[in-house]
Structure formats: structure tokens, C-alpha cells
Structure 1
Amino acid sequence: MTVPARSVGQAFALETVLTFFLLLVALRSGLPWVVGGVVALEAMMGGPITGASMNPARSFGPALASGIWTAHWLYWAAPLLGAALAVAANHFLSPSEPIETKSHQAQEFALIGEGR
């Protein structure tokens, strides 16, 4: 089960940071071995302090089975905040360009075919 070994505030901050970096690496690299390495490093670093959940489902199952819900809310709120921040950072690092629709591309090909 995941129960904070330090204060709830420290656990919240750490879980937010852990989730942020995990999701940012997953979004930026997409390589399974890199993501797995981040999970391993974060588990070694954050495990003794918060259990390094980084995922609400990872905390929910053990809490449900054991009946221990100590500060369980933070294992939902912190990953959601960390994930939102990672998505915002990813968008900031590489904003997406407008996607051309198929109909727009078809119109361009039609105009090229007509000699325009």
C-alpha cells in the first residue's frame, strides 16, 4: 500500500513532481526502455517517501484490499496535477501545428490538376 512517510504536503509535492517527469518523458521520447528507466529511478528515489505511486490505480488497489485509506486523496490529486503540468510543458516545448484535413488536401490536388 502507498502511505506517505513524511508530511502530506511533502508527499503531495513529490508525487506531483514524479508524475510530471514520468509523463513528460513518456510524451517526449515514447521509448519504452526510457520510460521504464524513469519509473525505476523514480521508484528508488520516491519509494521510501511516498511509495512512488505516480498512478492512482497503483494506490487504489492496495488501499481497497487493505482498507487503509491514509491520505489516499493525494495519490489521486497529485498525479492529476503532475500530468496536467506535463501536458502543458509538452505543448510549450513543441506546440502542435494545425492539421490539414483530407478535404483541404483534396481541394489542393484538384486545383493542381486543373493547372492552377
Structure 2
Amino acid sequence: MKKHIVTTLMLSALAVSCTKTTKTEKVENPDGSVTTTTTTTTDAEIIDTSKINQAKEDVKAKVDEAGNKIDNAAQKTKEDLNQAGKDIKTGAKEVGSDIKDAAAKGAEKVEEGAKKLKEDLKK
């Protein structure tokens, strides 16, 4: 376990030492005092921009593909809903005509019953 910790610390120190450069500069002033300036620079060339650009392109392609899938699913849903609406409309027309026929037959029976009642009342 200790070997792993030590190895990790060494690799961390190596990574930090590769990315940062420290420069110390001493300047003697005219009055005889010494001024020390420490400058730390970070090496920006460690990041591989081609890999980053490739990753961005991959993500963009996957997002476009997902968008196309969503669009296709939405179009299919729209078509299914249109078909369902047509089926409902056709069914409603059939039910409406059945109701009209039933109402007409009922009205005929009521009229016949009224005629019979009228004749019975005349007797």
C-alpha cells in the first residue's frame, strides 16, 4: 500500500514539474539592496488540441444523430396521431348515422303508438 502512495506522489510531482517552470531572478538595486523576483510559467503545449477538436467533433456528430432520431420519432408520432384522428372521425360518423337510424325508428314507433292510442280513445 505504501508503494502505491509513494508512486502516486512521485508521478504527481513529475506531472507538476513538467507543466510549471519557475525562474528566480535577483537584481541588485543602486542603493545596494537585492530584489528577488520569482516567475512561474505554465507550459500550455501539454494539452493536445487535435484530440480536443476530435472529441468536440465526435460529440457534435452524436448530438446531431440524436437530434435526427428525435425528429424521426416526432414525425412518426405525428403520423400516428393523424391516423388515429381519422379513425376517430370515421367511427364518430358511423355512430352518428346509427343514432340517426335508431332515432328515426323510435320516432316511427312513437307515431304508431300515438295513432293506436288515438283510435282507442275514439272507441
TM over 0.5: no
Higher relative contact order (CA 8 A, sep 6+): 1
Structure number with greater Rg is: 2
TM-score by length of 1: 0.29
